[in-house]
Amino acid sequence: MVKIRLTRLGDHKSPFYRIIVADSRSPRDGRFIEVLGTYDPHLDDGLKLDADKAKDWIKKGAQPTDTVRSLLVDAGVLETKKSTQKTKVEKKKKAE
């Protein structure tokens, strides 16, 4: 399976990430297929992403990790999924 995920770069206590497409069996900082962009959590505008490439890979079946999914939603590439899980309050009301 192909995943869209982050790979870590940068110095100690100063991480910087690449958004990559990689085989799910390869290690986090190992071999990858393509770089889609970068993410720097220390900057307000730290997300640089090629949205067209990301959409193409998603159409081909690549699955983003949870973190990358939230970054893609922030970039406007993906739409948010409404949660189908009920909250504790809803479960408690239903039980009563």
Q: Listing from the earlier edge strand, what are the strands of the sheet with 2-11?
A: 47-49, 34-39, 14-23, 2-11, 63-64
| Domain locations in the chain as residue ranges | 2-75
**For the chain (length 96 residues), average pLDDT per consecutive 10?**
93 93 88 93 91 93 93 88 63 66
Distance of CA 2 to the CA centre of its chain: 13
Structure pTM?
A: 0.77
Structure token pair of residue 6? 């982050």
Q: Tell which CATH architecture fits domain 2-75.
A: 2-Layer Sandwich (3.30)
